[in-house]
Amino acid sequence: MTHNELIQQIRTKKTFLCIGLDPDLKKIPEHLLQTEDPIFEFNKAIIDATHSHCVAYKPNTAFYEAYGIKGWISLEKTIQYLNINYPNHFTIADAKRGDIGNTSAMYAKAFLETLNFDSITVAPYMGSDSVKPFLSLPNKWVIVLGLTSNEGAFDFQFLNTGNKKLFEEVISTSATWGNENNMMYVVGATKAESLKEIRKIIPNHFLLVPGVGAQGGSLEEVCEYGMNENIGLLINSSRGIIYASSKDDFAQVSQLEASKIHESMKKYC
């Protein structure tokens, strides 16, 4: 999906919601555990119920890898289901990969070619040669970890490197490796006050923003400080939507929660 196509989807649907597909067998409704593939059945029901309220889906690969080969099969079935039935939705492999160049090239092949995701999250700690292999594929995206929403972000990301904080250095340097048509940045909603400074560095890039909802981030603050003229945001919600109910009505309740966020986003679109 191209930059302009993503913007068009946001404008048309009047939402910039991304739904995280993080299935946990301990949390999904019990009746699904009797099916052949509980994870896929859970994801399928969530997708069918919420697709009209979002523009993106983000499976976190850890929630699939944890179950070995069965989990990988569930992930493959999930992305195939999305690509076939809802091709206008942007897909994110939340894998947080990043390694030396030839290894990164294989990660890129795995997620962007074999599984055919639109994008993948990447950790930039090892530098340009660990990120650039992900940028070699047309109409695919790298989503670089810029400023995260967890408490441990303060361990390193806010360290001063002279005139800049480390996260600002990471963003400004890595932005030269690609452009707004193939790079996005993860910026946690709980760090909304930093979005103003980040927008000075990358005014036109999309930002993937986790942390709204269960982690306490504010949609209003994120939009105030992070939105640009083309919206430029994908706001992710995972637990608040997919685990809104653990009963047989889980899909309907997830649809209701997604619709609430959608409704609150309309005024910004």
**pLDDT digit string, tens, across residues 214-259:** 556 788 989 999 999 999 999 999 999 999 999 999 999 999 999 9
The span from the CA of 195 to the CA of 227, in Å, is 9
The span from the CA of 20 to the CA of 8, in Å, is 21
Helix (H) / strand (E) element for 12: namely helix 3-13
In this prediction, residue 149 carries a pLDDT of 83
In this prediction, residue 215 carries a pLDDT of 59
The whole-chain average pLDDT of the chain stands at 95
What are 36-43's contacts with CB under 8 Å, separation 24+?
Answer: 37/70, 37/73, 37/74, 37/77, 39/63, 39/64, 39/67, 39/70, 39/71, 39/74, 39/78, 40/74, 40/77, 40/78, 40/81, 42/242, 42/250, 43/74, 43/78, 43/81
In this prediction, residue 218 carries a pLDDT of 83
In this prediction, residue 212 carries a pLDDT of 75
Q: Which residues of the chain have pLDDT under 50?
A: none
In this prediction, residue 213 carries a pLDDT of 63
The span from the CA of 50 to the CA of 221, in Å, is 24
Catalytic residues: 96
**pLDDT digit string, tens, across residues 135-157:** 999 999 999 999 998 889 899 99
In this prediction, residue 190 carries a pLDDT of 76
Q: How far is CA 211 from the centre of its chain?
A: 11
In this prediction, residue 193 carries a pLDDT of 81
Question: Which domains are delineated in the chain?
Answer: 3-268 (3.20.20.70)
